[in-house]
Amino acid sequence: MALPRTLRRTSPITLVLAGLLAIGFLLFIISPSSNADAVSTAKRKLTNAASHPLSPPTAPFVKQDTSVEARNKPPPVVHYHLNNVTTTADPITNEETVLILTPLARFYQGYWNNLLALSYPHHLIALGFIIPKTKEGNAATLALQAAIASTQTGPEAKRFASIIIMRQDFDPPLQSQDEAERHKKENQKTRRAAMSRARNSLLFTTIGPSTSWVLWLDADIVETPPTLIQDMASHDKPVIVPNCLQRFTNGEGKADMRPYDYNSWQDSQQAADMAANMAPDDIILEGYNDMATYRTLMAMTADKSDGRDTRAIIPLDGVGGTALLVKAEVHRDGAMFPPFAFYHLMETEGFAKMARRLGWGCWGLPNYFVYHYNE
């Protein structure tokens, strides 16, 4: 009796061990994941998904049957109950959806990592990006798409409900995103007008019928507390901004932070007088020496001590857009980012003014920090 050469050489023990290993592999591969959370969120995602591609982009839609018959079927009649869309101090319990909107010019991995670290349930978060159609924008889009691809195929709990990438239909006035060039005063008006248009384009095409909160988050915000959304929403204010700082290494070589966003302020008599004497299309800009407004800037009132009261809150007349949480009804009422001089204000500052004209208050958290990328 001649056994095959290979079998003759191997002992039965190795065969048994190999068999056990094979069964182990099979079990490992076949046994279903017992991650109940992931399964339930996935189920919920599936039931909440729209049935047709023509649907609000803040929710995913079920992939279409590719047969001709299915494609020719007209979209269904969909009812949206906006009376039931709430914005409360406890958004997680009430399953309120958040739309995070970001005008993107450069993609920072720090921004994406921070986004992934947010502890707000990701299946309640939709992301919206608007990117100019420039060389820089193309590069940013590619980087963003790569990041999205890895996140949306990764662990279920980290996946966002829906992601919208939008390319701008107008050219940005300035090709350079260089900080020095960007902050030149004469460039500010056209830059902010273009930024306003980009923000409005993004906002009004994505907000849809089910969004409860809109979080404006600039692409260069690389560090926030993971509970950013819950913390800000817990104040139950129509418009609320944290204080935006920048980490840097000071002259002594130590880590320090400095104020970054000067657009959150309380108005002053001087600024009001200045506005009264301006031509209708002129705007007041913050942070320029030849235009001293004597406004109370929230960035300057930050208490940087460790034991600070992060829940301290102040009313504001102008808000910055680096991180800005807005109840969706404020935007739905029409509050947008004026790309023109609205009470001599533009963009986020003009937005605050418009929100207040519509009867919504604006608030700031001077001791609650988010951090801007250091260029």
161 or 352: whose CB is closer to other proteins?
A: 161
203 or 285: whose CB is closer to other proteins?
A: 203
56 or 287: whose CB is closer to other proteins?
A: 56
3 or 36: whose CB is closer to other proteins?
A: 36
Helix (H, G, I), strand (E, B) or coil at 13: helix
Q: Does residue 102 interact with other proteins by CB under 8 A?
A: no
Which class for 1: exposed (0-12), middle (13-18), buried (19 or more C-beta within 10 A)?
exposed
Tell me the window of 95-103, 271-279, 284-292, 332-340 that interacts with other proteins (CB under 8 A).
332-340
Among 105, 161, 319, 326, binds other proteins (CB under 8 A): 161
Among 52, 184, 185, 311, binds other proteins (CB under 8 A): 52
Amino acid 113 reads: N
Q: Does residue 327 interact with other proteins by CB under 8 A?
A: no
Alpha carbons 152 and 314: distance in angstroms, whole number: 38
Smallest gap from residue 190 Cβ to other proteins (A):
13
Among 102, 114, 200, 224, binds other proteins (CB under 8 A): 200
Q: Does residue 173 interact with other proteins by CB under 8 A?
A: no
Alpha carbons 146 and 340: distance in angstroms, whole number: 36
18 or 62: whose CB is closer to other proteins?
A: 62
- Which secondary structure element, helix H or strand E, spans residue 263, and what is its range? none
Q: Does residue 56 interact with other proteins by CB under 8 A?
A: yes
Smallest gap from residue 86 Cβ to other proteins (A):
13
Among 61, 108, 288, 373, binds other proteins (CB under 8 A): 61
Tokens 């980087």 found at? 143
Helix (H, G, I), strand (E, B) or coil at 131: strand
DSSP string, 221-241: EEE--TTHHHHHHTT--SEEE
Distances 199 to 101, 102, 128, 206, 263 between C-alpha atoms, Å = 8, 8, 10, 11, 16
Q: Count the neighbouring beta carbons within 10 Å of the beta carbon of residue 6.
A: 7
Q: Does residue 312 interact with other proteins by CB under 8 A?
A: no
Site for other proteins in 112-151 (CB under 8 A): 133, 148
Tell me the window of 32-40, 103-111, 254-262, 365-373 that interacts with other proteins (CB under 8 A).
32-40
- Which secondary structure element, helix H or strand E, spans residue 195, and what is its range? helix 185-206
Site for other proteins in 80-99 (CB under 8 A): 80-83
CB 219 within 8 A of CB 108: yes
Smallest gap from residue 137 Cβ to other proteins (A):
11
